[in-house]
Amino acid sequence: MIKKIISGGRIGADQAALDVAIKLGIPHGGWIQKGRKTQRGILPEKYQLKEMPVAGFKERIEQNIIDSDGTVIISHGNLTGGSDYGQEMAEKHNRPCLHIDLNETPLSIAPSKINTWIIKNNIEVLNVTGSRTSEDPKIYKDTMNIVEGMILLGLIGAKPGEHLTDYDKKDYLKKLPIPPKTIDEAVERLIYNFDLEDKVKIANMKLNDLMDLPSNEHAYFKNALDLLSGNKELLASCRSISKEHVYNEDDAIFVIMEALWKKLRQTHKLRVVK
131-185 residue pLDDT tens: 999 999 999 999 999 999 999 999 899 999 999 899 887 777 677 777 788 999 8
Last residue of a domain, which of 173, 192, 212? 173
Number of structural domains in the chain: 2
* Whether residue 105 has pLDDT greater than 90: yes
With respect to residue 272, please indicate whether it lies within any of the assigned structural domains: no
With respect to residue 250, please indicate whether it lies within any of the assigned structural domains: yes
> Same domain for 21 and 130?
yes
Torsional class of 64: left (φ above 0), alpha (ψ -120 to 50), beta (otherwise): alpha
* Whether residue 193 has pLDDT greater than 80: no
With respect to residue 86, please indicate whether it lies within any of the assigned structural domains: yes
Give the domain extent around 76.
4-173
Work out the average pLDDT over 106-131.
Answer: 96
> Same domain for 118 and 229?
no
> Same domain for 134 and 29?
yes
Give residue 126's identity as a one-letter amino acid code.
L
With respect to residue 274, please indicate whether it lies within any of the assigned structural domains: no
> Same domain for 21 and 155?
yes
* Whether residue 126 has pLDDT greater than 70: yes
**What is the DSSP secondary-structure string of the chain?**
---EEE----TBHHHHHHHHHHHHT--EE-EE-TT-EETTEEPPTTS-PEEPSS--HHHHHHHHHHTSSEEEEEESSS--HHHHHHHHHHHHTT--EEEEETTTS-TTTHHHHHHHHHHHHT-SEEEEEE-BTTT-TTHHHHHHHHHHHHHHHHHTTPPTT--GGGS-HHHHHTTSPPPP-SHHHHHHHHHHHS-HHHHHHHHTS-HHHHHTS-HHHHHHHHHHTTGGG--HHHHHHHHHH-SS---SHHHHHHHHHHHHHHHHHHHS------
pLDDT at 138: 93
> Same domain for 28 and 163?
yes
> Same domain for 104 and 223?
no
CATH label of the domain that carries residue 144: 3.40.50.450
> Same domain for 47 and 151?
yes
Give residue 223's identity as a one-letter amino acid code.
N
With respect to residue 273, please indicate whether it lies within any of the assigned structural domains: no
Please, which pLDDT band fits residue 64 given cuts at 50, 70 and 90?
A: very high
Cβ atoms within 10 Å, residue 258: 17
User: Regarding predicted confidence, which is higher, 24 or 122?
Assistant: 122
With respect to residue 178, please indicate whether it lies within any of the assigned structural domains: no
Nearest to 191 by CA among 271, 263, 241, 258: 263
* Whether residue 121 has pLDDT greater than 90: yes
**Which residues are bridge partners to 126 per DSSP?**
5, 70
**Please, are residues 260 and 191 in contact by the beta-carbon 8 Å criterion?**
yes
Last residue of a domain, which of 146, 173, 200? 173
Q: Say what percent of the chain tops pLDDT 90.
A: 54
> Same domain for 133 and 168?
yes
> Same domain for 39 and 149?
yes
Last residue of a domain, which of 117, 148, 173? 173
> Same domain for 21 and 153?
yes
Please state, in angstroms and rounded to a whole number, the distance separating the CA atoms of residues 120 and 243: 52
Please, which pLDDT band fits residue 72 given cuts at 50, 70 and 90?
A: very high
- Report pLDDT digits (tens) over 77-90: 998 877 889 999 99
pLDDT at 249: 87
> Same domain for 87 and 197?
no
pLDDT at 216: 62
Please state, in angstroms and rounded to a whole number, the distance separating the CA atoms of residues 182 and 197: 25
What's this model's pTM, rounded to 2 decimal places?
0.69
With respect to residue 225, please indicate whether it lies within any of the assigned structural domains: yes
> Same domain for 159 and 122?
yes
pLDDT at 1: 76
pLDDT at 272: 58
* Whether residue 63 has pLDDT greater than 90: yes
